[in-house]
Each structure stands twice: as structure tokens, then as C-alpha cells.
Amino acid sequence: MSYQSFAEFERIPQHQLDRAKQFPAAILCDVAGRRGTMNSRIRALNPAMSICGPAFTVEVRPGDNLMFHVALAVAKPGDIIVVDGKADDTCALFGDLMVTQAVAAKLGGFVVDAASRDTDSLAHGDFPIFAAGTNPCGPTKGLPGKLSIPVSVGGVAVNPGDLIVGDVDGVVVIPRNEIEAVLDAAAKKVAAEKQRIDEIEAGILVSPWLDDALKQAGLPTL
């Protein structure tokens, strides 16, 4: 089996990606049942960075980036390389060189449950990077890993082709078969929040649901 075959998984249609880019990670998480968000250790190198695209999953042994390099060589434009690095922060799994290659390959970004390095240049670049810390030490390149398999990254299950959305709040994973329903729900939530903002600006300061919630909790109402 060639390594190229690991890149042949079903990807998210462009119309869904275009819709998903309209919503922040927080909205998508809320309507997806308040689940699917990665541990807060995985954060953008720059708060202005955002990410949206299909996951190309990679599993590596702690401190080794051999299969990360293979994924980088075969991933398709727009793919987000999502690496289960076992939350290891004793060395960086990537830096300037790998990001330069990813930009040339027109990839969508990196989400890595491990450390990165070359932080100053990467944080000021345009390529979206979400990682679990930084470390100047480089990795080894000699241990087997796996591509395009279900992985656990930041405490969340990620399958090849799942939707990855990240921003300053963090990263959320939407399973491939739930994307359309989540996007529909996200649009409704945005509309509802806009209505509530309009109410607040009109002087209606108490949320209409609050008294019911207090009653259900056995507490006095306002």
C-alpha cells in the first residue's frame, strides 16, 4: 500500500466548509451538545489565527515526527493535519521548515497535541497553527506511526474527514456525518443570540428563560 492511499478519504464539500467558516468554535460546540472541544492546552500560536477544514489524522510516538513528515508529503490542499502527539511537550514536533512545506502544499493548518518551536516566526505568519506549548528541542525521526486512523487529540476523538474549526477560544471537532445538522443549528443559534442582543439594547435585561431555570432549581424567582 502506498502512502498516497492514506490521503484518499472522503472530504467535506466546499459548500459546507464555506458555511462552517461563518461560525466561531463556541457556537459550533454549543449546538453540537457542548462536546467535541479539545483540551485548552491546544491553542493558537497567535490569537488572530483561525482554522477550518477536514482532518488528516496522524498518530506518532512521543517526541518523534516521522509520520508527521509523511502526512505532510501526501496531504491534499485544504487538509488540516491533526496530530496525536500524546500531549508530549519535551520537544517540538515541527517548526519553520515543516510549516514552509505546508504553505507550499496549500494545506489548511496544523492541530498538534504536542509542542512546536520557531515560535516568533510562526506566530507572525499566516499559516494557522494550534499546538500544545512550545519547546526549542527538536524531535527524532525514527519511530513508526499511523496515518488516517481514528485518534484522540486533546481528549477528543478525531476521524479522517471530520470538520476541524479553531479560533482564539480553542478547537472543536464536528464528526463528518453530523456537519450539516450542526451548521443548521448554528445558524439558528446565531439568529437567537442576535435577537437577545437586540432585546438587551432595547432595555430587556433579564433573560426570559431565567425564572423558569430558577424554579427548576428550587430557587426563588426574580
Q: Under a CB-based contact definition with an 8 Å cutoff, are residues 114 and 88 in contact?
A: yes
Residue 96 annotated as lining a ligand binding site? yes
Strands (E), 46-192: 51-59, 80-92, 109-115, 129-131, 146-147, 151-153, 156-158, 163-167, 170-174
Residue 98 annotated as lining a ligand binding site? yes
Burial 36-67 (b: 16+ CB within 10 A, else e): bbbeeebbbbeeebbbbbbbbbbbbbbbbbeb
Residue 95 annotated as lining a ligand binding site? yes
Residue 88 annotated as lining a ligand binding site? no
Q: Under a CB-based contact definition with an 8 Å cutoff, are residues 56 and 134 in contact?
A: no
Distance from C-alpha of 70 to C-alpha of 197, rounded to nearest angstrom: 48
Separation in Å, CA 25 to CA 6, 21, 66, 151: 28, 9, 30, 20
Work out the end-to-end distance of the chain between its first and last CA atoms, rounded to an integer number of angstroms: 66
Residue 214 annotated as lining a ligand binding site? no
Residue 118 annotated as lining a ligand binding site? yes
Phi (first) and psi of residue 84, to 5 degrees: -80, 95
* Positions at the binding site for Mg(2+): 118
Residue ranges of the annotated binding site for substrate are 95-98, 117
Binding residues: 95-98, 117-118
